[in-house]
Every structure is written in structure tokens, then in C-alpha cells.
Structure 1
């Protein structure tokens, strides 16, 4: 499916990609689920990838709530810029690398459901009209949700697939 341009497309693609990722992960045996990826990736295993997605869900929800309250959110996070993303992603890894995979999956499912509810509250115009909200700058709210959901799930799926070859 091409990049979503409507609320229905955004919900559909985010749910499809999330389901595809989870179905893929569910197909691994217990030893495969905890096996380390080849050297050279920050996210060292499936848990790390799923924890990364969860934390980005939380960041997106924070940006949303702060921005919708009329304030300027720290995007991507306080003390970080898009150029310092590797350091932010390392901080995320540090935060979750000792958390059990089962717990990470529960947290991810919860944050996914919360994002879906937030998306569901908005109209097509609210989601896809550029410059509608001051905090989203020149882009649309939907573009932020696409990045935090369907596109990110696709990235995760491809990373796990590549590392499990």
C-alpha cells in the first residue's frame, strides 16, 4: 500500500504492518527469539527492536500531547536533535536492554493501542492538512503518525528479517 493519505489508510496500514511484524516474530522459536543479531547493529536482538518501537510510540504520544496543549514539544527528545539520533537510540537501548521480551511485547501492544486510539480521534483534515498545527511545522500530524507506526514497523520487520538470515 502506498503512503497513507487518509485516516482509514493510516489505520489500515499501521495495523497491517504491526500484525505482519508480530506474526513474523511469533514464528520464531524461543531460542531464536533471544538469539543475538550479527555484530554491527545497535539493536542486538528482537527484544531491542520491539523496545525501540515502544519508546518511539511513547515519544510520539508525548509530542502529541505537548503540541496539542499549545506548547512546543522536544522533538525528537529533550537534549537531542535529528543529527544526534544515534545517541538517543543508544539511550533507548540502555533503558530497555534488561527488560524481558514478554514484558516489552506487552508494553509495545499497549502503546500501539494508545496510538491507534489517538489517530482514531482525528478527521482526515486534522491528520493530513499540512501546517494545521504549529507544533508539526510544515508537515502534517498524519506524517508524524506514519513515521511512528507503519513506516517504523516496516523498518523493524526488515531489520529483523535481515539479521535472522
Structure 2
């Protein structure tokens, strides 16, 4: 699938890929879902991947709320993070959730995915995919941020879980 270029494709791909991700996870045994990945430094298990998605959903929702609803100019990444240092932010997210149970991570990401879909659905195609439609999106579009926080991020998660599956088969 190519990167979504309109609202309909964004909503369709996000739902499709989220379902694909959850189905993939459901195909793992409970033990496999809890197992530590043998190939990763930061996201070490299914829970970590789901929490990563959840936290990026939260970034998107908070950013939209601050800028669109509250009219409070706010960057996408919270201070002190920048696009050069967001990796450190991801590590912070990981650290904050080391005691979060997998069942809770599944619930959090399911609810945050639904909340993001509601946010996306309220905007017109033009508002989502016209570059600089909102001054707070900089030189890009709101839709680009939404794609990155949903469909593209789900692709990343699917690849991680598939790699975990392959690793388990080779053991």
C-alpha cells in the first residue's frame, strides 16, 4: 500500500493496518506475546511496541487539542525534545511503562487508536492534506502527521512482530 494521500485512504489504511497488527499479535501464544525479543535494544517485547504506538497517539491527540481546540501554539514534540532528539523521548516512554502489563498496553493502544480515528474523521480532506492549511503544521500537512502516527507506525509495529515470529520459529 502506498502512503495515504487523502482522508478516505488514511482512515482505511489505519483501520486495516491496526487490525492486521492486532490479528498478528493474537496469533501468538500468551507466552510468545510476553517473550523478550532477541533482536531489539529499546522495544523488547509486544507490550513495548504497543506502548510506543499508544504514546505517539497521545502526542498527536495532545498536539491537535492544543493547537486546534485551545488555540495554544504547541509543537508536536514536547519540550525538551526535537526531531533530532526524539529517540531519547522514545526511551523515556519505554522507561515509564516497564511495569505496565501487556493487557493494559493492549487496552491503551486500542482506545488511543479509536480516539485518533475520531480526531482524523472530524477534519475535511482539504484540512488534512493541504500543506500549511494550519499554520501549526509548519511546512507539511496535518494528514502527514496523522499518517506517521497511525498507518506508517503500524507498518513499523507489524514488521517488529513478524520479526519476533520468525525469531521464535528459528529457535
Per the normalisation by structure 1, the TM-score is 0.96
Aligned to 2:92: 91
Aligned residues: 165
2:84 alignment partner, SS class: helix
Structure 2: gaps of 5 or more residues: 167-171
RMSD: 1.1
- Asked whether the 8 Å contact 2:24–2:161 carries over to 1, the reply is no
Q: In structure 1, what is the Cα distance between the partners aligned to 2:43 and 2:140?
A: 29
Q: CA deviation at 1:87?
A: 0.9
Query: 2:71 and 2:47 mapped to 1: Cα distance?
Result: 35
CA-to-aligned-CA distance 1:43-95 (integer Å, 9 cap, x gap): 01000000010010001101111121332223322211111122101100011
| CA distance in 2 between partners of 1:163 and 1:27 (Å) | 12
Alignment correspondent of 2:125: 124
2:158 alignment partner in structure 1: 157
- Structure-1 separation of matches of 2:56 and 2:77: 9
Residue 16 (structure 2) aligns with = 16
Contact preservation (8 Å) 1:60, 1:144: yes
CA shift for structure 1 position 105: 0.6
Q: Name whichever of 139-148 and 37-46 sits farther off.
A: 37-46
- Deviation of 1:124 after TM superposition, in Å, equals 0.6
Check the 8 A contact 2:73/2:136 in 1, yes or no: yes
The runs of at least 4 consecutive aligned structure 1 residues that moved more than 4 Å come to: none
TM value normalised by structure 2: 0.93
